[in-house]
Amino acid sequence: MSIPPDENRAAELAIETRGLTKRFGTQTAVDGIDVTVPPGSVFGFLGPNGSGKTTTIRMLLGLIRPSGGQARVLGEAMPHSLDTVLPRVGALVEGPAFSPFLTGEQNLRRFDAADRHSSGRTRGQRVAAALERVGLTHAAKKKAHAYSLGMKQRLGLASALLMPRDLLVLDEPTNGLDPQGTREVRALIRSFAADGTTVFVSSHLLAEVEQLCTHVGVMSGGRLIAQGTLDDFRRSGARTRVQVRTPDLESARSVLASLGVELDARHEASDRETATGFMPEAAAPEAIVAALVAAGVRVRGFAIVSESLEQRFVELTGEGFDVVA
């Protein structure tokens, strides 16, 4: 499958793939995915470990060649346009790698010197600005081996910011970080997006995607099974549950059923004093309570519970996600 010949549409997207596929021998790691990443978005590429996220990123960056399909990054075909695209892309894939006995500043100088598009005359200014951006000016002269994991991750982000970038590609940017380090990296990603940079974040952490992203794509078993805005995911397929705590369980169930509530017997099996079910879209909570009271049901508790984003993703993939912040 090839990219449609609509150059204007392609230029509008930060990333676009059509039928992108990668096989390793008889194993298909990425199976014909169509990804669309709007410019200026924070796109969460979500999926359990081993679902094909990193392989996809490596194809997008030209690190490995696809077995089939095509991809555009910043409107250019990849990997054919590596020389023009990669200078506009900052990437942090599979964790930062630094020389441990060089300082943070020296490591960044080496990274900058390896970029043939950078000027040696302004290298010091770029390095200083990148360190300041990620909050590491105070540790510029400290050797990298003495950095905490969170500081190393921030130094990796600094290396991706040595030159102006239109797109940042971050593979598991908070992986292995403690809560403080996670908060620091999240704050940095938000600041990048606020400046208008498109950020593509691969993660298996649902909380990370939910707190950071405007758009999301869900991978499972090498396939992209859903994508859209985060708000779309919250609405799409979401069901609202009603819970009534009462000693008059059978009467409550009867009233709920008469109002079109789809009763959930599995929940009731573990709680003999709560009637629960999924509300029809047109139902009003106050009308349900009024009907229960009119039927003589002693209502000791009433709650409306929306389906969580976690439940929606588990429903899509059949797998759980790590939801630890």
Q: Secondary structure of 222-256 in the HEC alphabet?
A: CEEEEEEEHHHHHHCCCCEEEEEECCCHHHHHHHH
pLDDT at 3: 41
Dihedral, 315, 263, 260, 302 alpha carbons, nearest 10:
-100
Q: Which residue has the higher pLDDT, 306 or 252?
A: 252
The residue with tokens 């000016």 is 137
Exposed e or buried b per residue across 149-175, where buried means at least 16 C-beta atoms within 10 angstroms of its C-beta: ebbbbbbbbbbbbbeebbbbbbbbbbb
Closest CA to 151 of 114, 176, 171, 125: 176
Please indicate, yes or no, if residue 318 is contained in any of the structural domains: no
Q: Is the pTM of this model over 0.85?
A: no
Helix (H, G, I), strand (E, B) or coil at 215: strand
Residues 112 and 196 in one domain: yes
Closest CA to 237 of 138, 143, 149, 309: 309
Residues 254 and 115 in one domain: no
Residue positions counted in the chain:
325
Please indicate, yes or no, if residue 59 is contained in any of the structural domains: yes
Domain span holding position 128: 7-235
Q: Are 30 and 79 in contact (CB under 8 A)?
A: no
The residue with tokens 């908060």 is 183
Q: State the burial class of residue 144 (Cβ atoms within 10 Å of its Cβ: 0-12, 13-18, 19+).
A: buried
Distance CA 63, CA 205 (A): 24
Phi, psi dihedral angles at 274 (to 5 degrees): -130, 120
Residues 121 and 166 in one domain: yes
Phi, psi dihedral angles at 276 (to 5 degrees): -140, 150
CA distances from 9 to 37, 56, 216, 310 (A): 12, 22, 20, 32
CA distances from 83 to 33, 68, 179, 198 (A): 24, 21, 38, 19
Sorted by sequence, the CB contacts under 8 Å of residue 41 that are 6+ apart come out as 14, 193, 198, 199, 213, 214, 215
CATH number of the domain where residue 143 is located: 3.40.50.300
CATH number of the domain where residue 299 is located: 3.30.70.100
Highest mean pLDDT among 59-63, 147-151, 154-158: 59-63
Please indicate, yes or no, if residue 222 is contained in any of the structural domains: yes
Q: What is the mean pLDDT of the chain?
A: 86
Asked if the model's pLDDT at residue 271 lies above 80, the reply is no
Looking at the chain, the whole-number percentage of residues with pLDDT higher than 70 is: 87
pLDDT tens figures, 21-77: 999 999 999 999 999 999 999 999 988 888 899 999 999 999 999 999 999 999 999
DSSP letter string over 47-79?
--TTSSHHHHHHHHTTSS--SEEEEEETTEEET
- Strands 27-33 and 15-24 come out as antiparallel
Residues 166 and 260 in one domain: no
pLDDT at 320: 54
Closest CA to 162 of 114, 134, 126: 126
Please indicate, yes or no, if residue 313 is contained in any of the structural domains: no
Residues 98 and 152 in one domain: yes
Residues 225 and 245 in one domain: no
Residues 257 and 230 in one domain: no
Residues 176 and 75 in one domain: yes
pLDDT at 199: 95
The residue with tokens 């410019």 is 39
pLDDT at 315: 67
Residues 112 and 228 in one domain: yes
Distance CA 178, CA 208 (A): 13
Asked if the model's pLDDT at residue 295 lies above 80, the reply is yes
pLDDT tens figures, 94-143: 766 789 999 999 999 998 998 888 888 999 999 999 999 888 999 999 99
